Amino acid sequence: MSDEARHSSDGEPPAPRRRRWSAQLKVGAALTAAILIASLLAPWIAPHPWDTISMRTRFLAPNATYWLGTDDYGRDVLSRMLMGGRLSIAMGVSATLVSLALGVPMGLAAGYFRGWIDEALMRFADVLMAIPAIMLGLLVLAVTPPALWKTALAIGFVYTPLIARITRSVTLSLANEEFIQAARARSESNAYILFREILPNAWPPLLVEASLRVTYAILLGAALSFLGLGAQPPSSDWGLMIAEARSFLDRAPWIALAPGLAMCLLVIGVNLLGDGARERLDPRIKAGVGKS
């Protein structure tokens, strides 16, 4: 016996050759990385101070000194866009983190325990989902002074049910896998099964969803800022920039165009990145062909 079984490990499976990145993934990653890096490094790479008011340089069209022109206070649009990106992206990321922190445990519990826990959590999620984000934002921000972190919290809250639903559906299919039964046959605690057995297998689809959520959160945050419920002047996030530029659309369209375009590029980039990443993150797809 020992002899022939020792051979069972002969002939290694061909080393999983790393697959090339798809064009979609490359474009997505490049766009996203460019905007993220530019925003993060804004204080150092911005060509002009973002908040210096100068009446002499009002409404300048894009030119060699001010690449994207200037706004109604004579501030450099490019610098403001970069600084605004910092705020918008930080807001989007923290909103998503809030929704992950709340939604993932909800979804795991609902999908694994089923029964009344599932019912209770998912009906609660339905109620949350029925509240329009803007309404919730207005509710929170109308009674207290507006601040960007409150916007992030409100948006995170609104996206919690979406994250919970996705986590739940992934958990439902994983809960039937035999390795979960094996963990139960070792009397593992529910927490161990949820966070050590199921969660590591659930994160690829979650990561993709979360990256898309960041962009939606940025859009929604911009909408709230546009309504005056997010960033407060003189600080600039993209939504606020567009709101401020609204009155000058006919005279100086570049003021609104710049942050709008930045937002579009980021959303497109992250969506491409998310779709491309989904395929690569599944360990089973990467497997080689040498099955016996």
Partner 1 sequence: MLEISDLTVRYRTPVGEIEALTSIDVRAERGRTLALVGESGSGKSTVALAAMGLLPSESVVASGRIVFDGQELGALDEGARRKLRGSRLGLVFQDPFSVLNPSLTIGEQVGEGLVHHRGFTQAQAQARAVELLDEVGIVNPAAIAKAYPHELSGGMRQRALIAGALAPEPAVLILDEPTTALDVTIEAQILDLLEALRARRGLAMLFISHNLAVVHRIADEVAVLYAGQIVEQGRTRDVLTRPMHPYARGLLAAIPRFDDRRRRLAAIPGRLPDLRAPPAGCRFLARCPFAAPGCEAPQSLRSLDARAVRCVRANELRDTHWPRPQDPEQARGARNDAAAVVSIERLTKTFTLGRGWRFSGWRPRKEEIVLRPVDDVSLDIRPGEVVGLVGESGSGKTTLGRTILRLIEADCGEIRINGEVVSQRPQRNLEAMRRAAQIVFQNPDSSLNPRKTVGALLARPIERFGMAPRAEVPARVRALLERVRLPAHYANRYAHQMSGGEKQRVGIARALATEPRFIVCDEPVSALDVSVQAAIVNLLADLRDDLGVAFLFISHDISVVAHFADRIAVMNRGKLVELGEADQIMRAPRHPYTIKLLSAVPRLPAA
> Residue 23 CB, nearest distance to partner 1 (Å)?
15
- The site that binds partner 1 (CB under 8 A) totals a number of residues, namely 39
Measure the CA–CA gap between 35 and 188, rounded to whole angstroms: 44
What would the x/- binding string for partner 1 be over residues 184 to 203, using CB under 8 A?
Answer: xxxxx--------x--xx--
Q: Residue 285 CB, nearest distance to partner 1 (Å)?
A: 8
What residues from 13 to 72 belong to the interface with partner 1 (CB under 8 A)? 13-14, 16-17, 19
Which of 144/187 has CB closer to partner 1? 187
Q: In whole angstroms, how close is the CB of 176 to partner 1 at the nearest point? A: 8
Least distance from partner 1 to the Cβ atom of residue 58, Å: 57
Indicate the residue among 127 and 182 with the shorter CB distance to partner 1: 182
Bridge partners of 76, per DSSP, are 70
Give me the least distance between CB of 1 and partner 1, in Å please. 5
- Candidates 124-132, 147-155, 183-191, 267-275; binding stretch for partner 1 (CB under 8 A): 183-191
Which of residues 7 and 56 has its CB atom nearest to partner 1 in the complex?
7
**Of the two residues 16 and 132, which places its CB atom closer to partner 1 in the complex?**
16
Residue whose CB is less far from partner 1, 13 or 49 = 13
- Based on CB atoms, which residue is closest to partner 1, 56 or 284? 284
DSSP string, 56-94: GGTTPPS-SSSTT-B-TTS-BHHHHHHHHHHHHHHHHHH
Rounded CA-CA distance 28/39 in Å is 17
What's the min distance (Å) between Cβ of 169 and partner 1? 18
By beta-carbon proximity to partner 1, the closer residue of 6 and 251 is 6
Contact set with partner 1 (CB under 8 A): 1-11, 13-14, 16-17, 19, 177-179, 181-182, 184-188, 197, 200-201, 283-292
